Amino acid sequence: MDEIVLCERHSAGPRQAAILGLKSASFFQRIRIKSPGFSILEVLVVLTIMVALSALALPLLEMTVVRARERVLRDSLRDTRLAIDRYRRERNSSISPFYPISVASLLEPIPDTHLKPGGQPGPFLHKLPEHSFLGESPIFLWDIRDASGAAWVAAVNNASQQFNGGVFDIRVPVTKMGGWETALDGSKYEFW
């Protein structure tokens, strides 16, 4: 709220009042308005400092987001590869295929007829591996290597895609990564 402070009253003579067209000299007052806010210059300086700090912080924020996505991606790859290894250890080696027939088969227990004696049936994964660079979309997009030694095959939206020799390995696809190819440490995602 503005505070109006009335200062001393100046008395003017009739001649001064007549010159100004006033009936009485008592209207001569000096009024000073005192405002508790900031000046425009102070506000501009603060805004400039805030813009400069946000410009410095934005790249750090983006790097933190990419680093978190990379961590999720590495964890997904590690968990899936460990699940493939555990599946291979628990499966009866005399029954083909020795590896899981698909990535989705890691979500289900091994049938008793295919389980090695004393083996744990699984499941070896609780959910399909996450691809953190594709956002919130539930797309399944990985390159999978068949255990028979074939080249990498792109598995797009098909975690149940079956492979003759079984799933030997999984990796980040070389293409269709939304422009993401190189990690923050300089390595290529496809070699993780």
DSSP annotation string for 97-162: -SS-SSSGGGGSPPPGGGBPTT-------SSPPP-GGGTT----EEEEEETTSPPEEEEES-TT--
Residue 109 lies in a domain: yes
Q: Check whether residue 96 and residue 169 sit in a common domain.
A: yes
Torsion region of 182: left, alpha or beta (phi above 0 gives left; psi -120 to 50 gives alpha): beta
Q: Check whether residue 94 and residue 185 sit in a common domain.
A: yes
Q: Check whether residue 84 and residue 145 sit in a common domain.
A: yes
Residue 12 is predicted with a pLDDT of 52
Residue 159 lies in a domain: yes
Q: Check whether residue 92 and residue 187 sit in a common domain.
A: yes
Q: Check whether residue 27 and residue 107 sit in a common domain.
A: no
Q: CA 106 to CA 135: how far, in whole Å?
A: 23
Question: Per the confidence metrics, is the pTM higher than 0.75?
Answer: no
Contacts of 86 (CB under 8 A, 6+ apart): 120, 122, 124
Q: Check whether residue 26 and residue 70 sit in a common domain.
A: no
Q: Check whether residue 86 and residue 179 sit in a common domain.
A: yes
Q: What is the DSSP letter of 188?
A: B
Beta bridge partners of 33: 4
Residue 52 lies in a domain: no
Buried b (16+ CB within 10 A) or exposed e, 149-171: eeebeebeeebebebebbbbbbb
Count of domains for the chain: 2
Residue 41 lies in a domain: no
Residue 15 lies in a domain: yes
Q: Among 63-67, 75-79, 118-122, whose mean pLDDT is lowest?
A: 118-122
- Using one digit for the tens of pLDDT, what is the confidence trace for 137-160? 667 788 888 888 778 888 877 888
Report for 47-56, 103-112, 118-127, 138-147: range of highest mean pLDDT: 47-56
Residue 84 is predicted with a pLDDT of 92
Residue 56 lies in a domain: no
Query: Taking all residues of the chain, what is their mean pLDDT, rounded to a whole number?
Result: 79
Q: Check whether residue 14 and residue 106 sit in a common domain.
A: no
- Using one digit for the tens of pLDDT, what is the confidence trace for 11-34? 555 565 556 565 554 544 555 556
Residue 179 is predicted with a pLDDT of 67
Residue 45 lies in a domain: no
SS3 content of the chain, % helix, strand, coil (to 5): 40, 15, 45
Q: Check whether residue 18 and residue 97 sit in a common domain.
A: no
Q: Check whether residue 84 and residue 133 sit in a common domain.
A: yes
Residue 186 is predicted with a pLDDT of 86
Q: Check whether residue 9 and residue 72 sit in a common domain.
A: no
CA distances from residue 16 to 30, 87, 118 in whole angstroms, order as listed: 16, 106, 115
- The residue that leads in pLDDT, 25 or 165, is 165
Q: Check whether residue 90 and residue 177 sit in a common domain.
A: yes
Band (pLDDT 50/70/90 cuts) for residue 93 is confident
Residue 171 lies in a domain: yes
Residue range(s) defining the domain that contains residue 16: 3-34
